[in-house]
Amino acid sequence: MPGQRDPGRGCRDRGTAVPLISAAAPRAINRAAELVKAGRLVAFPTETVYGLGGDATNERAVAEIFAAKGRPRFNPLIVHVRGLAEAERLAVFDDHARRVASRFWPGPLSLVLPRRGDSGLSLLASAGLDTVAVRAPAHEIAQALLRETGRPIAAPSANRSGRISPTEATHVFEEIGDRIDLILDGGRTPVGLESTVLDLSDETPVLLRPGTVTSEQLTELLGPIAAPAEDRPKSPGMLASHYAPSLPLRLEAVSAQFGEALLAFGPEAPPGFAEVQWLTSTGDLAEAAANLFAMLRRLDRPLFTGIAVMPIPEQGLGRAINDRLRRAATRPL
């Protein structure tokens, strides 16, 4: 029956038409906001990747997010807000935190901070931790949705857990289109990599996930920043294997192996690959980041034996690109 819940798996038997609409359509944002307020799930674009959003104060909506993604419940979600004032109602900001937020928000930076006792947030959203990750996205559609909803929105990337993050609405549809109520199509997401995650809940800031806001920029503002401890990932989502395509991924490739497709970086590519997609022909790291996930998806076809990637400089945004590539190249245990 359409709309009926499957209590066992927390999914919906939709039985209805494709839930993908243009964000520019009349009342699209309003419809999405009504759904979120009713505890339903909506995918929407941010400047980084598409998010799978639900009311962060609604325990059941948050549980549905975990179910739709097949995400382990120990992995907390990022809570999206309009800006610093809203974030301060959810988390405890000190001077450091305020300084970073004022400098980089709205934008692709998530801050892990002590969670306020009176935040009203779902406990599951932060997976039972006493911290919460908050972020004010810069994307106009995300901001409009937050404004119309009037509530914090919990939103992980809108892909099945462990898979490549979506940078186009059709990616979301392919991944989880049958599990959610609406996808707001706002075109390609401009940044293309998930936000930088910075943990400010302890004495020394820890960079949990590299992104467009680089460690160089953060160090300039905050002083020394630590890398997460290798043995015990503080960010439960930063597992060694993530963003995984189905095909094997080979990094630092300088020549072709039989049947491989290539992700090329820079003006020239080695010969002999079955297909080549150019992350950037000029070496522009922002362009490469924006193209990375869509191109990985495009090449992830049984037609090829694997995907090779040319070396990418380990500096600035290149660090975030290489971080995602290393995780994508690590096969699940």
Write out the residues near Mg ion by the rule CB under 5 A. Answer: 157
Residue 261 binds to ligand TXA (criterion: CB under 6 A): no
Partner from ligand TXA, Mg ion, none binding residue 269, C-beta < 5-8 Å depending on class: none
Taking the least distance from each CB to ligand TXA, the nearer of 74 and 282 is: 74
Instruction: Select from 36, 133, 164, 207 the one that contacts ligand TXA (CB under 6 A).
Output: 133
Compute the distance between CA of residue 268 and CA of residue 278 in angstroms, rounded to an integer.
10
**Cβ(224)–Cβ(250) below 8 Å:** no
* 132-142 b/e (C-beta count within 10 Å ≥ 16 → b): bbbbbbbbebb
Residue 110 binds to ligand TXA (criterion: CB under 6 A): yes
- Please, what is the minimum distance in Å from the beta carbon of residue 50 to ligand TXA? 7
Query: Contacts with ligand TXA in 301-330 (CB under 6 A)?
Result: none
Residue 46 binds to ligand TXA (criterion: CB under 6 A): yes
**Cβ(154)–Cβ(133) below 8 Å:** no
**Cβ(86)–Cβ(93) below 8 Å:** no
Q: Which two tokens stand for residue 212?
A: 């467009």
Taking the least distance from each CB to Mg ion, the nearer of 119 and 157 is: 157
Partner from Mg ion, ligand TXA, none binding residue 78, C-beta < 5-8 Å depending on class: ligand TXA
Is omega for the bond preceding 106 within 30 degrees of 0, making it cis? yes
Instruction: Select from 48, 119, 149, 280 the one that contacts ligand TXA (CB under 6 A).
Output: 48
Cα–Cα distance list, 249 to 160, 258, 260, 317 (Å): 19, 13, 10, 20
Instruction: Select from 197, 264, 288, 308 the one that contacts ligand TXA (CB under 6 A).
Output: 197
Instruction: Name the strands in the sheet holding 153-154, side by side, starting at the edge strand that comes first in the sequence.
Output: 20-22, 182-185, 42-45, 50-55, 153-154, 78-80, 131-135, 109-114, 196-199, 206-209
Instruction: Select from 33, 54, 66, 76 the one that contacts ligand TXA (CB under 6 A).
Output: 76
Positions in the binding site for ligand TXA (CB under 6 A): 46, 48-49, 51, 75-78, 110, 112, 126, 129, 131-133, 135, 137, 155-157, 194-195, 197, 208-209, 234-238
